[in-house]
């Protein structure tokens, strides 16, 4: 399955980019990969497993690369449930 959603800034006032994700269901954890597009700055790619649970989702994914301003991107992406329809994504990039 796959999905895409707009990304908003911290104040939820402006569109910051787009999220594109493709996942494969796999025995209690979905294997997911995707791309974050941040305006005209480039893309950040990520991969990892996502727990399948009814509890609030909080998990980490590996940042595997990127393009343009993010061509050397490495680190992790923290995803935390805010409510049933909203997630906060924090990019923790290594320098």
What CATH number is attached to the domain comprising 23? 2.40.480.10
pLDDT at residue 27, as a whole number: 83
Q: Which domain holds residue 31?
A: 2-93
Count of structural domains, the chain: 1
pLDDT(83) > 90: no
d(CA 93, CA 75): 5
pLDDT at residue 23, as a whole number: 96
pLDDT at residue 89, as a whole number: 94
Q: Tell me the average pLDDT across 74-94.
A: 93
Rounded (5°) CA angle 59-30-88: 30
Determine whether 94 is exposed, middle or buried from the number of CB atoms within 10 Å of its CB (0-12, 13-18, 19+).
Answer: exposed
pLDDT(56) > 80: no
pLDDT at residue 55, as a whole number: 77
Please state the pTM of the whole predicted model: 0.88
- Confidence band, pLDDT 50/70/90 cuts, at residue 47: very high
């Amino acid at each position: 399955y796959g999905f895409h959603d707009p990304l908003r800034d911290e104040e939820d006032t402006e569109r910051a980019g787009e999220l594109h994700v493709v996942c494969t269901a796999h025995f209690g954890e979905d294997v997911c990969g995707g791309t974050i597009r941040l305006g005209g700055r480039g893309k950040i790619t990520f991969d990892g497993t996502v727990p399948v649970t009814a509890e609030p989702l909080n998990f980490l994914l590996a940042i595997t690369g990127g393009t343009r301003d993010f061509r050397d991107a490495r680190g992790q992406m923290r995803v935390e449930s805010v409510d049933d329809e909203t997630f906060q994504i924090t990019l923790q990039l290594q320098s």
